[in-house]
Amino acid sequence: MSLAMLCRPSHLMSKVSRHLALPSTSSNRLVHLSASDLWTNYEQAKGWLRSKKLPPDIETFGVFCNDRIDMEEVEVYGFDYDYTLASYKKGVEYLIHDIAKEHLVKKYGYPDDIARVVYDPHFAVRGLHYDVEKGLFLKVDSSHQIQLGTVYRGRQKLEDQEVLAMYKRRQLPVTFLESTSSNKKMVQLVDIFSKPEMSLMATVMDYFMKNNLEYQPESLYYDVSTCIGAAHATFHSETRSNPNLYLHRDPELIPWLEKLVQANKKVFLITNSPFETVDAGMTFMVGKQWREFFDVVIVQAGKPHFFTNNAKPFREVDVERKIFLWDTVTTLAKGKIYAGGTIDHFQNLTGWRGGRVMYFGDHPYADLADVTLLHGWHTAAVIRELEMEINKMNTDQFKWGVNWQQVLMALIEDHQGVEGEEARAVINEWKEEVSTIQNSLRSMFNPQFGSTFRSHNNPTYFSRKLFRFSDLYTSRVTNLLSYSLNHSFYPRRGALPHEFKSWFV
């Protein structure tokens, strides 16, 4: 069963209506039902749903499809390193957070108390927007609407009225959400390293507000962002020295790479990380001969500029002397290491183009957007949050809640034209119950912001980009080991709002 099917049981609306013989209404046709009649229909609907089996579990390690892909056509497999081939332990987030907070105190003069704050891995979810000017975290859906109840200044939740007073509207203009270097009203915090960044910003804001200290939200964002960036150098050093402390060793990674090589697939690596970090990590995960699996290895690529042809030319890396060679790169040879480069030069030297290539990355924008939109590569997103979220969705509590919510909304839709004060009060009570269910479902994933992928019934802004820029998505690259290299992935046909509802769509 696919990820979205459980979240969108639209067939229930027509099915329960047929079962209960609910009268069809429109906005200009009132239904003369008493409050007692409404509650009778309510209990019948709940009884009907209880008589049904809960949906089957979603495959935790499944591969999910946004577009039809015939894997038989893919001849070249490319990979990012961080959070794609390399799966980091939670300790990395603590490390990044703690290095950054030390930089805030020592290099930017923040109060000494900031050096003692503790990382909270449960505060934020990936894909939130941060309003640089107002200093707010907020969750936005695929229609650019703010999800009310998920707007925070630090860890202080803002009331809906305050949010609407500030923004004057729920739907944000695209110029706010798609920030540029000259117009950065909001930033979207997309990669895994953003979680310690958001936690640190929230903690510092809380400290300033608690101690009645004035601060500039813009300066706080830029200071924390700079310190998070600076922490990467220490992060690389620590992971090189102690890969066992920070990296998971996936027992299926070697069989996956062997499967590709034995099928005569070409395999390449393009990463922003330096060679020393990649070498230490891949040696730990795969062994000293890891380079034999790859036809081309490119480090310090400077993505996303690599994919927009705004990066520096290729340079061969002398791994023994740890220097870049001055010679012009005229071929990308197996066994050698290269740095920098551009995608056009890469394609010209290798001949690997278009739908023959599939690239795996964890960042829907920096890794996947340009290669699919501009160069026609197939793409696969590696999203580790899927495993946690699917495990939550496989609980009976979630399955019942999401399906009862849909049935209850169908009842409201069919009866919202009722007359009479008591009957209208019942409808309002049902609406309150829907809201309660939605908040309960949201809290199952994250108490503050809910699911990474959903904003109640709509996909999140993050999901919209994920679905647009990736043909496949999964929680780890090795999940494809369970599929044939000739497997055909078919996207599910979903019912559009104007189409009929059926068990079969």
Give per-residue pLDDT as tens, 341-371. Answer: 999 999 999 999 999 999 999 999 889 999 9
What residues are paired with 171 via a beta bridge?
Answer: 145
At residue 38, does pLDDT exceed 60?
yes
DSSP state of 364: I
Among residues 187, 366, 381, the alpha carbon closest in space to that of 272 is found at: 366
Report which secondary-structure segment, H or E, holds 296. Answer: strand 296-299
Q: What pLDDT is stored for residue 184 in this prediction?
A: 75
Q: Counting every residue, how long is the chain?
A: 505
Q: What pLDDT is stored for residue 6 in this prediction?
A: 37
At residue 301, does pLDDT exceed 90?
yes
Catalytic residue among 37, 67, 82, 223: 82
Phi and psi for 64 in degrees, rounded to 5? -110, 145
Residue 492: pLDDT band (50, 70, 90) is: confident
Cβ burial, residue 296 (10 Å; 0-12/13-18/19+): buried
At residue 65, does pLDDT exceed 70?
yes
Helices 421-445, 35-50: inter-axial angle, 10-degree rounding? 30
Please confirm, yes or no, whether 344 is among the known catalytic residues.
Answer: no
Q: Which tens digits make up the pLDDT trace of 98-139?
A: 999 999 999 999 999 999 999 999 999 999 999 999 999 999
Catalytic residue among 37, 80, 113, 223: 80
Residue 30: pLDDT band (50, 70, 90) is: very low
Cβ(93)–Cβ(372) below 8 Å: no
Q: Which pair of structure tokens corresponds to residue 35?
A: 């409050």
| 36 φψ region: left (φ > 0), alpha (ψ -120 to 50), beta (else) | alpha
Instruction: Give buried/exposed letters for 111-126 (b at 16+ CB in 10 A, else e).
Output: eeebeebebbeebbbb
At residue 12, does pLDDT exceed 80?
no
CA distance 396 to 392: 9
According to DSSP, the β-strands at 472-474 and 186-189 are unpaired
